[in-house]
Chain A
Amino acid sequence: MAAHIFATDWLHNTNLNYMRRDIFQAIADPTRRAIITLIALQAMTPNAIADNFHTTRQSVSKHLRILTECELVKQEQQGREIYYSLEIEKMKEIDKWLSQFRKIWETKFNQLDKVLSTLKKQKK
């Protein structure tokens, strides 16, 4: 029941369909996943991020823009440089979604337990 309320609360508090689609689009791309992994460790400038990839800086900028639009990363101005860092709370939403997915299977398997128990009785 606690999990039930938890998931409901989350659905209730967020504009789920819009946001969830965005988050999953953001992490569907391998370069963007690599960027997330990089900046999870420390805030980085676009140039420092681009040094880790063989693609152009424009391409890295484009990925950063998508990640920013999805609110998975945040920008912070420090002097003349902009630093990108990970929005941890947003990443947690992905895990919340996964816990719902887990719950579907829990429900299905509990149903199967009942079916199996009925079938066993019928065989006897």
Chain B
Amino acid sequence: MKNNLLFDFTVDKAAKTVFITREFDADLSLVWDAFTKAEILDQWVAPKPWVSKTKFMDFKVGGRRFYAMVGPEGQERWAIQKYTSISPKTNFKMFNAFADKDENPELPGSDWDYTFSEQNGTTKVSITIYNESLARMEKMIEMGFTEGFKMSMNNLENVLATLSKK
């Protein structure tokens, strides 16, 4: 696996937009599948220890993906995505919103734009996330990260406390 793969992450707070660029050591069609097929998405899209479970995914313009991030204690955070534009193996756009378990979206949501390009067997993916509110950006982080982190923290707290006494 290549070690020098690009990873760029910037946030424009005023524009409420996050820009993410990452390279992958795989050809374009495989990377495209990894972002657009439920069975592959579910393998990586949730940061451990959370897991992603797609209830349905209809990858076409106007189609939707309804999925949950499931936490280590079984807690479910539902979200719904609606595909607004698809140019195969080049770009797709979607609107993402948190939801309840009955598919009712909680607005406001965020607009996502994915662009794919391949050079010499390396595929670059550029993601732009526009949030209608900063408060919502904050909520995004709470899906999957904080909860899982808190668990290991209790142990680490003790370790840190011990270390700081030295």
Q: What separation, in Å, do the CA atoms of A106 and B40 have in the docked complex? A: 18
**B residues 136-160 in Cβ contact with A at 8 Å:** 137-138, 140-141, 144-146, 149-150, 152-153, 156-157, 160
How distant is A90 from chain B, measured CB to nearest CB, in Å?
A: 14
Contacts of A9 in B (CB 8 A): 160
Pair B47/A116 contact, Cβ less than 8 Å = no
Say yes or no: is A53 at the interface (Cβ < 8 Å to chain B): no
Pair B44/A108 contact, Cβ less than 8 Å = yes
Contacts of A113 in B (CB 8 A): 1, 5, 24-25
Pair B134/A116 contact, Cβ less than 8 Å = no
Pair B34/A115 contact, Cβ less than 8 Å = yes
Pair B157/A12 contact, Cβ less than 8 Å = yes
Pair A105/B135 contact, Cβ less than 8 Å = no
Pair A104/B47 contact, Cβ less than 8 Å = yes
Size bin of chain B's contact surface: 35 or more
Say yes or no: is B101 at the interface (Cβ < 8 Å to chain A): no
Q: What separation, in Å, do the CA atoms of A25 and B145 have in the docked complex? A: 21
B34 interface neighbour in A5, A21, A25, A112, Cβ under 8 Å: A112
Pair A28/B133 contact, Cβ less than 8 Å = yes
Say yes or no: is B107 at the interface (Cβ < 8 Å to chain A): no
Pair A24/B34 contact, Cβ less than 8 Å = no
Contacts of B160 in A (CB 8 A): 5, 8-9, 12
A100 interface neighbour in B133, B141, B153, Cβ under 8 Å: B141
Contacts of B156 in A (CB 8 A): 5, 8, 12
Pair A7/B26 contact, Cβ less than 8 Å = no
Say yes or no: is B60 at the interface (Cβ < 8 Å to chain A): no
Q: What separation, in Å, do the CA atoms of A96 and B20 have in the docked complex? A: 17
Pair A116/B48 contact, Cβ less than 8 Å = no
Pair B25/A98 contact, Cβ less than 8 Å = no
How distant is B24 from chain A, measured CB to nearest CB, in Å?
A: 6
Pair A120/B26 contact, Cβ less than 8 Å = yes
Identify the closest chain A residue to B47 (Cβ). Answer: A107
Pair B30/A21 contact, Cβ less than 8 Å = no
Q: Sample 14 A-B pairs with CB under 8 A, ordered by A number.
A: A8-B149, A8-B160, A12-B157, A24-B137, A28-B133, A100-B145, A101-B137, A101-B145, A105-B20, A108-B45, A111-B44, A114-B44, A115-B34, A116-B31
List 6 extra interface pairs beyond A25-B135, A104-B145, A111-B47, CB under 8 A.
Answer: A12-B157, A24-B134, A24-B138, A101-B18, A113-B5, A113-B25
Interface residues of A (CB under 8 A from B): 5, 7-9, 11-12, 20-21, 24-25, 27-28, 33, 94, 97-98, 100-109, 111-117, 119-120, 123
